Amino acid sequence: MKNWNDLWTPAEQKIFAGLQSPALIQEYLDSLAYSTDSFYRCPRRVLADGKAHCFDGALFAAAALRRLGFPPLIIDLLAHRDDDHLLALFRVNGCWGAVAKSNFVGLRFREPIHRSLRELALTYFPSYYNMAYEKSLRGYTAPLRLERFDHLDWMRSDEHLEQLSDELDFVRSYSLMTRAMIKRLSRVDERTYQAGQLGADQAGIYWPEKS
């Protein structure tokens, strides 16, 4: 990668300069409007537009974490009858944490206290549900190293982000539970259901078809 400052305008550098920790990166993402657009934004466009959805937010967080010396890593949380959810990963003293943009309260930041990616992914399970009151998280992928795609200029250009997204389909995935466990899952309680949507943009919520 080129010198960081060579990649960004002075105005962009000023914003990144204020993001001195994973928690501050999360605060910045939380301050942005939730995007209900169907297209992807690169980190540069997130800065310009002041909005992001989970894919955009994960790429932005990965870029900002990279500036702090963390490798740019993302994983995909895999859901049933629901949207998948992308996280940017970081590791401190061997333990994993995550930064994420989400329309739901419980699907965002995680402190770096998790000894494995499975352990990290499972912390999202209680808050991961669809509008049919179904607990929908099922698995997660191995990390995707975004430095492999520097030739696509993913931090500053939207042009090849669909290609980057498609790469997630080829990353190894892991199940969090057996079929028997899934059959025994209870419905989400009403208080959790309502609390998770606090401040959510209803236009950006996935509604599963009735079954």
- Please report whether residue 49 resides in a domain: yes
- Please report whether residue 104 resides in a domain: yes
For the chain, give the longest Cα–Cα distance: 55
- Please report whether residue 152 resides in a domain: yes
Q: Which domain holds residue 134?
A: 4-196
Are the C-beta atoms of residues 114 and 99 closer than 8 Å to each other? no
Secondary structure of 132-179 in the HEC alphabet?
CCCECEEEEECCEEHHHHHHHCCCCCCCCHHHHHHHHHHCCEEECCCH
Residues facing 90 on adjacent strands: 97
- Please report whether residue 201 resides in a domain: no
0.75 surpassed by pTM: yes
- Please report whether residue 209 resides in a domain: no
| pLDDT tens figures, 161-170 | 999 999 999 9
CATH code for the domain in which residue 156 is found: 3.10.620
The stretch 197-205 carries a mean pLDDT of 94
Residues facing 74 on adjacent strands: 88, 144
Distances (CA, A) of 43 to 24, 64, 106, 134, 154: 16, 9, 23, 32, 8
Q: How many domains does the chain have?
A: 1
Q: 27 is written with which tokens?
A: 């605060």
- Please report whether residue 22 resides in a domain: yes
| pLDDT tens figures, 33-46 | 999 999 999 999 99
| pLDDT tens figures, 117-157 | 999 999 999 999 999 999 999 999 999 999 999 999 999 99
- Please report whether residue 182 resides in a domain: yes
- Please report whether residue 203 resides in a domain: no
Distance of CA 158 to the CA centre of its chain: 17
